[in-house]
Amino acid sequence: MRILRNYLLKEFFTPFILSFCVLSFLMVMVGMLKDIVDQIINRGVELYSVLKLLLLMTPYIITYTIPIALLMAVLISLGRLSSDNEIIAIRASGINLLHLIIPLLVSSVILSLGLFIFNDRAASYAHFAYRKTLIEIGIKNPTAAFEEGVFINSFERYVLFIYHIDRKANRMNNIRIYEPQGEDKPTRTIVAKAGEFIAIPEKNLVKLKLIDGTSDEPDPQNPNNFYKLNFKTYFMTLNLDEAKNKSVIEKKPKEMTIKELKKEIRKLKHTKIDAAPLIVEIHQKIVLAVSCFVFMLLGLPLAMIARRREKSINIGIGILIIIAYYPLLIGCEALGMQGCLNPALATWLPNMLFGIIGVTLIYKLCAS
């Protein structure tokens, strides 16, 4: 049995490692190649910063590539054994299929445990570090962090809208700057034909030089009213210290560990605020890890059922499972966040459904 177990594990882990490397590379390059080129060529961001962003995105991608690689590996490896009639030979020798697949199930459990720790610690930390790096890029090269044609809320007091950005020249055209004054008070507006950012990284400041425009200035006798001031050149100082410190203190749910999420849930419940999104986030970390075991349960019988199949068919089956699983997971999570279903139940539904199908197929296969 030891020889057979080692043989099966070798047959499984070789395509698993290969699938993992190929999938990770493809997902990184396909998902980020366009952004990398845009950051370097169009936005003038340093290559080092872009490579750092790429590295920090990798743990998030690994969260998905490990379960998918496991599914592909079991379909390919056991599919080959089945097509070569090795499964039939093993059963003919009196070995129960259940004994045959236990080592693979144990391997998937170990991978699930490892991925759970990875999701909770490494992926959360990397996601947070990725956002902090984006803030640092915005301080060193402000135009790199901004998009034309959208409202920019990166600064504490101001909202910016830029119609056109020339990143190579570090210039902007047709700028609108809004400074809300509070409830029931008019918003101060600054309009300029052109402008440019002057970064001061050592002080975490950005000076904005505006050219040819108008500014709303408070009336000294009635601060609630403004008068128009025309200018040729107008300088504004945008302080990023508060925004930077805020990013260190406040994490998004995906950037929190389970311990931090539970602490935040207790705070929200104390103030009677619905914490469904945070509950979904906790269970998502676990569900994505357990998907390794679920994919193994489903992949094992599907790989052994048919005889003499081509590898392309097994890969096609794997793609169909992935296409069915992840959209279902996203849809159920959305229902949980909106309160249509219990958050925990909604997140676990895909794993429960696919797991039941896998267990049923394994039972029928071993009983036959």
Question: How many other C-beta atoms can be found within 10 angstroms of the C-beta atom of residue 44?
Answer: 14
Mean pLDDT, residues 64-73 taken together: 95
Question: How many other C-beta atoms can be found within 10 angstroms of the C-beta atom of residue 182?
Answer: 7
Strands (E), 122-267: 151-152, 159-166, 171-179, 188-200, 205-219, 222-239
Structure tokens at 236: 């504004």
Element holding 98 (H helix, E strand): helix 97-118
Whether residue 134 sits in one domain with residue 43: yes
Write out the residue range of the structural domain in which residue 208 sits.
155-239
The last residue of a domain, from among 239, 256, 280: 239
Whether residue 201 sits in one domain with residue 106: no
Whether residue 276 sits in one domain with residue 135: yes
Whether residue 284 sits in one domain with residue 204: no
Contact 8, 74 (CB under 8 A): no
Residue 148 counted as domain residue: no
Cα-based distances in Å from 298 to 43, 283, 306, 311: 46, 21, 14, 17
What digits encode the pLDDT tens for the residues 296-335?
999 998 888 765 556 678 888 899 999 999 999 999 999 9
Mean pLDDT, residues 156-178 taken together: 79
Instruction: Tell me if residue 224 falls in helix, strand or coil.
Output: strand
Residue 258 counted as domain residue: no
The number of domains in the chain is: 2
What digits encode the pLDDT tens for the residues 214-228?
988 777 667 677 778
Whether residue 289 sits in one domain with residue 172: no
Whether residue 56 sits in one domain with residue 119: yes
Residue 276 counted as domain residue: yes
Whether residue 273 sits in one domain with residue 214: no
Whether residue 270 sits in one domain with residue 225: no
* 43/287 Cα distance (integer angstroms): 38
Whether residue 20 sits in one domain with residue 90: yes
What digits encode the pLDDT tens for the residues 349-361?
999 999 999 999 9
Structure tokens at 332: 């159920």
Structure tokens at 54: 């790429």
Whether residue 159 sits in one domain with residue 135: no
Question: How many other C-beta atoms can be found within 10 angstroms of the C-beta atom of residue 189?
Answer: 14
Give this prediction's pTM: 0.71
Whether residue 124 sits in one domain with residue 28: yes
